[in-house]
Amino acid sequence: MQDMQELIRTQNYQELFSRINYFAGFGVIGLGILYFLFLSSILNPISWLYPTYFALFGVMILSAQTKFPFVEENFGFLQGYLGRGIFYVYTATLCLNFKQPHNSDVLMEMLAWIGFIVLGLLGAYYILTGYKKGEANQAYDVAKEEGGYGEITTEK
């Protein structure tokens, strides 16, 4: 905790957000593991998808933070502020669906709400930072140059 206060005091926000992202990534993986451990029906294959997605999304968050080459090549949207922010908000909304139909465990729901708040705030920060840095306009300009936006033309 003392180390985090030192980062805030010295205004080393890059390192601070890096640590928060690691916390978020491990937290999402942890939620996926907890959800898997408390499955209501282990025989229902659909109930395995949700914790698997959570674990994979946590791994993606950690991999994007460490600049893992596979993620940089195949999930490029995680390298920009806007893409990462939208992904975090999406993952945060998945936390809201973190309910056990047969088990109303208060601790699990509290952890899901903490995940929702942390990921939602991180996502909002990244989205606002992306707009401030002009990433939305850059994406529009690139797409327009490649023919993705603008007028529709038919070539024969």
Q: What is the pTM of this model?
A: 0.74
Task: Give 10's DSSP letter.
Answer: T
Phi and psi torsions of 87, nearest 5°: -65, -40
pLDDT at 21 over 80: yes
SS (H, E, C) 45-109: CHHHHHHHHHHHHHHHHHHHHCCCHHHHHHCHHHCCHHHHHHHHHHHHHHHHCCCCCCCCCHHHH
Q: How far apart are CA 47 and CA 100, in angstroms?
A: 10
pLDDT of 3 over the 90 cut? no
Q: What is the pLDDT of residue 156?
A: 46
Note the pLDDT tens digit of each residue in 74-97: 887 888 888 888 999 999 988 887
